[in-house]
Structure formats: C-alpha cells, structure tokens
C-alpha cells in the first residue's frame, strides 16, 4: 500500500511544521519524544508507507 504523491507532500509539510515549532521553541527545550512524529512523517513521505496508518488498520481492521 503506497501513498499517492499528494499524501507524501502532506507528510513532508506536516513534518516541516512540527520542526518549525521545535526550532522556535528551542532544540534544548523540547522533549525528545516530539522528534518521533517528525521521523515517522519523513519516513512516510520518502517511502510512501505510513506506519501509523498500518497500525490503525491492524487494530481496527481495514475496509
């Protein structure tokens, strides 16, 4: 299951918004856990595979 190009662009845009928030807060002030969504979104944007979407589909079943 690969994501279309528009969804990949959305993943990158959302990652940039989170990184901008981290930058404006200060890299030393944010909790380390905030980097996980950024890494997951960049991974999803590059590969087209969204780990969170796959986990939700396994938990609730896909249609």
Kindly report, residue by residue over 5-56, the tens digit of the pLDDT.
Answer: 888 898 899 999 999 999 999 988 888 998 999 999 999 999 988 888 888 8
- The CA-based angle 38-44-46, given to 5 degrees, is 100
Whole-number pLDDT of residue 61: 81
Altogether, the residues listed in the chain come to a count of 63
Gap between the Cα atoms of 22 and 48, Å rounded: 24
């Amino acid at each position: 299951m690969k994501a279309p190009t528009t969804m990949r662009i959305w993943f990158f845009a959302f990652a940039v918004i989170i990184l901008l928030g981290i930058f404006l807060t200060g890299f030393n002030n944010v909790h380390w856990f905030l980097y996980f969504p950024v890494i997951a979104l960049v991974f999803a944007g590059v590969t087209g595979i969204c780990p969170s979407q796959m986990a939700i589909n396994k938990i609730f079943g896909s249609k």
